[in-house]
Structure 1
């Protein structure tokens, strides 16, 4: 069995709420797994992890994003093989979601609602890390 970790990358994608001004986090729904997660995916051969994370965000959400800082790397088994996913916080700066075969819905939720909606408990750790990192962003004005 191959013990080389599958390399992947993704983002905790965020924006300021167009209504309330607070932070919102984008979650994607993958119909293949019927789950809610952060946008992420496998790296292409030779692809830098941050470039792959931003590519996956664009592919899955339609958003261009500006990275803010690196978040914890998650490691877990998938089909008996280790997987390593590097994450960044990234602000959505433009774009529009169009449903596709991989992602059929996106939701923009408050951090607390996003944390509750995530399917995998390990993904909630990323919301917590993002909130620690983004404390200055939550201050008014």
Structure 2
């Protein structure tokens, strides 16, 4: 089986209560809001679009890039689907918006989670690892 490589972007969105947006994907996994970068789109623009689609957040303020990491997509069984390897760019954003209203039917649930509980909820080990590694870069901002 050949592995398709794709570029994705998303973000850590933190509110004034030190909560971070986490989204449910296809009812079988939890992640930070993110998705594929469209042709002609830069990673930051894609991250903003994906955050809106998956959470409904329009009050979004860019803070800084947090880096990128690679991982396989999550299959319907919740395990790695090695047919697609993602390079995921993650950015830090702030928002004062309270109400979350996902626009994407494939990602129907979004919720604010205390920043120190997010890693426990994230499904993919690579998502957890990246989140915990970058936490020190932004938690005191």
The verdict on a shared fold, with TM-score over 0.5 as the criterion, is yes
1:25 aligns to 2:20 (yes or no): yes
Cα 1:80–1:61 shift into 2, 3 Å? same
Q: What is aligned with 1:122?
A: 126
Q: Is the 8 A contact 2:15 2:95 kept in 1?
A: yes
Flag as ranges the 4+ runs of structure 1 deviating above 4 A.
1-4
**Helix, strand or coil at the partner of 1:136:** coil
Q: Is the 8 A contact 1:12 1:126 kept in 2?
A: no
Task: Compute the RMSD of aligned alpha carbons.
Answer: 2.1
| Count of residues in correspondence between the two structures | 131
Match of 2:51 among 47, 54, 57: 57
Q: What is aligned with 2:136?
A: 132
Unaligned runs of 5+ residues in structure 2 are: 74-81
**Helix, strand or coil at the partner of 2:21:** strand
Cα 1:43–1:75 shift into 2, 3 Å? same
Q: What is aligned with 1:45?
A: 39
Unaligned runs of 5+ residues in structure 1 are: 18-22
**Aligned partners of 2:112 and 2:130: how far apart in 1?**
16
After TM superposition, the score normalised by the length of structure 2 is 0.80
**Aligned partners of 1:131 and 1:77: how far apart in 2?**
22
1:96 deviates by 3.7
After TM superposition, the score normalised by the length of structure 1 is 0.80
